[in-house]
Amino acid sequence: MSSEPIIEVRGMGKAYPMYDKPHHRLLQMMVPGPSSRWYKEFQALRNVDFSVHRGETVGIVGCNGSGKSTLLQVICGTLAPSTGTVHVRGRVAALLELGAGFNPEFTGRENVYLNGSVLGLTRSEIAARFDDIAAFADIGEFIEQPVKSYSSGMYIRLAFAVAINVTPDILVIDEALSVGDEAFQRKCYARINAIRDAGATVLFVSHSAGTVIELCDRAILMDRGEVLAHGTPKFVVSRYHKLIYAPVEKAAAIREGIRDETATRLKTQHVEDVAGAESAPEPSVSPEDAAYLDEGLVPQSTLRYQTRGATISPPRIETLQGRRVNVLKPGGEYVYTYTVSFQRAAVAVRFGMMIKTITGLELGGAASTPAGMSELITGSGDVLTARFRFRAMLAQGVYFLNAGVTAHDADGETYLDRLIDVAMFRVMPDEQRLATGTIDFHVASEINAEAVLVT
C-alpha cells in the first residue's frame, strides 16, 4: 500500500441554494446587491476531512440524508465542492446512477462505446473488452437492439457491465449492488472482489453492516453532512447502530458522545476495536452477562392481527436471571417471554414465537405444544406467561421476533392474537466465530493427514 493518498479530502463543503419562490433565481442574477439575500444555503457537506490510500477498501455508512451520496459525487467529479479541496489520483469507475449516460435510441452495443468513452476508455480499449462486457451483461441478442426496448433489469445489467469492466484505480459504489437477481448480484460481488484483490481502491456506501465489516479495512460514519466517526469497521458500525436506534430525545447527546469518543481515539492513537456501544466486557464474563439493553432498538414495522379474545403484552428478551436485554452475545442463552390476557374461554391454547432476518426470512421458532395436542383450557380473566428459552447461535446482525397465541374453535385452529415484528434484537460480532452463514449449526471440522506410500 502506497504512502501517498489516492483520495485526499481537506476541509471540503458542499452547499446548495434554497429559494423560497422560483422567481428569486432570476432576481438573484438581475437585481444589484448581495445575491445571498434571495436564497438560504443548505449545507449538504461541511468540513469533511479524510484520506484513502491505494489498495484500501473504505465503507461509508450513515442515515438517509447524511451526505453520503453527495460525498461520492464530489469525489467522482460530477459535483464541484463549494469549499475545501478534493484530490483524486487515478482512473475512477463509479457505480452511482447506472446508465445515466445511455441514449435510449442507441443500441446496447452503441451505448457500450458511448458509456465506455465517458468512463475514460479509448475506442480500441472498448473494442478489446466488448466481448467481456456483453458476456457479463448476458442480455443475448438484445445487445443489438435500442435500449429503449430493454426491461429495467436488462438496462441495469448492461450499465453495470460497462462500469465494472473499466479496470479502475478507484472503484466507487453507491448502493448499486441491490440490482438484478441473486445470481447477477453474486457475479457483481465476485467482480468487485477481483478488482479489490488486484490492488484497486474501493470506496462504497452501504446500509449492510455485515458487508462493511466483512469487506472494509476502514469505515466512515456520516451524519448531517459531517464525518462523525471513522476507524475500524466494527467501531464505526456499532456507533452507527447506536445513532440510528437512539430515542429522538437522546439523539443529540449520543451524536456528541460519538464525536467526542472519536476525537479521543485519534488523540490516543487507540486502534483496538470496540464491539458494542458500551465498554467491552472482560473475556471471563459469560455471554449472558455481556448482553445489554439498547432502549433505542425498537421495531418500526410492528403489525397486529385482529384480536379474538386474547391480548399479548409487549414481549421482551431476558437473560436466564431475568435481566432485560436486546443486544445479545453470540452463543448465549436467553428467554423470549410475553404475557397473554384472555377475555374469553379458549380451548387447545398454544403459544408461539418466530425469529426472522431483516429481510423477513423465517429462521426458526417454536410452539408451546405440537399442533392438535394441546390440552390447555383458559377462562375469561386468566393471565398466562409464555417463556421460550433459546440460544443465540446467529451471525452478527439485527433480527426480528413474532409472537402469537392460538386456540381451537368451530373453524379449527385460529389466532386469538398475533404480533409481527413486535420485538427486535442485535447480535454482537464474534471475532472467534468459525461458523459461516447466518445460523451456527455447531459443525465440527476434522483435518487428517494421510500417509503417502512410495514404492
CA distances from residue 245 to 249, 292, 425, 426 in whole angstroms, order as listed? 12, 14, 11, 11
> Cβ of 371: how many Cβ atoms within 10 Å?
10
Confidence at residue 348, expressed as pLDDT on a 0 to 100 scale: 94
Identity of residue 5: P
Q: Return the C-alpha cell found at 37.
A: 439575500
Domain range 5-91+168-263, CATH class: alpha beta
Residue 313: burial class (beta carbons within 10 Å; 0-12, 13-18, 19+): middle
Confidence at residue 119, expressed as pLDDT on a 0 to 100 scale: 75
Identity of residue 165: N
Confidence at residue 243, expressed as pLDDT on a 0 to 100 scale: 83
- Helix or strand or coil: residue 230? strand
Query: For the chain, which residues score pLDDT lower than 70?
Result: 1-3, 33, 35-37, 96-101, 175-183, 185-186, 210, 265-288, 450-455
pTM: 0.59
Identity of residue 209: A
Q: Are 405 and 349 in contact (CB under 8 A)?
A: yes
Q: Are 7 and 35 in contact (CB under 8 A)?
A: no
Q: Which H or E run includes 52?
A: strand 40-53
Confidence at residue 421, expressed as pLDDT on a 0 to 100 scale: 92
- Helix or strand or coil: residue 143? helix
Start-to-end Cα distance in the chain: 48
> Residue ranges per domain, the chain?
5-91+168-263, 303-427
- Helix or strand or coil: residue 132? helix
CA distances from residue 233 to 83, 175, 216, 223, 285 in whole angstroms, order as listed? 28, 17, 7, 16, 24
DSSP assignment of 363-402, as one string?
EEEEESS-TT-----B-TT-EEEEEEEEE--B-SEEEEEE
Angle between helices 123-137 and 108-118 (to 10 degrees): 120
Confidence at residue 287, expressed as pLDDT on a 0 to 100 scale: 64
Q: Return the C-alpha cell found at 120.
A: 475514460
* Residue listed under C-alpha cell 462500469: 163
> What is the rounded CA–CA span in Å between residue 95 and residue 91?
13
Helical ranges in 7-67 per DSSP H: 24-30
Confidence at residue 208, expressed as pLDDT on a 0 to 100 scale: 73
Confidence at residue 266, expressed as pLDDT on a 0 to 100 scale: 62
Q: At the topology level of CATH, where does 303-427 sit?
A: Coagulation Factor XIII; Chain A, domain 1 (2.70.50)
Identity of residue 173: I
Q: What does the CA dihedral 111, 112, 118, 122 come to, rounded to 10 degrees?
A: -130
Segments of 19-129 assigned E as strands: 40-53, 57-62, 83-88, 92-95
Pairing of the two strands 412-427 and 327-328 = parallel
Instruction: Encode burial over 85-100: b for 16+ CB neighbours within 10 A, e otherwise.
Output: ebebeeebbbbbebbe
Q: Return the C-alpha cell found at 153.
A: 433489469
- Helix or strand or coil: residue 324? strand
Q: Are 328 and 336 in contact (CB under 8 A)?
A: no
Cα 314 → chain centroid: 27
Confidence at residue 177, expressed as pLDDT on a 0 to 100 scale: 58
Q: Which H or E run includes 161?
A: helix 152-164
> Cβ of 252: how many Cβ atoms within 10 Å?
10
Q: Are 94 and 72 in contact (CB under 8 A)?
A: yes
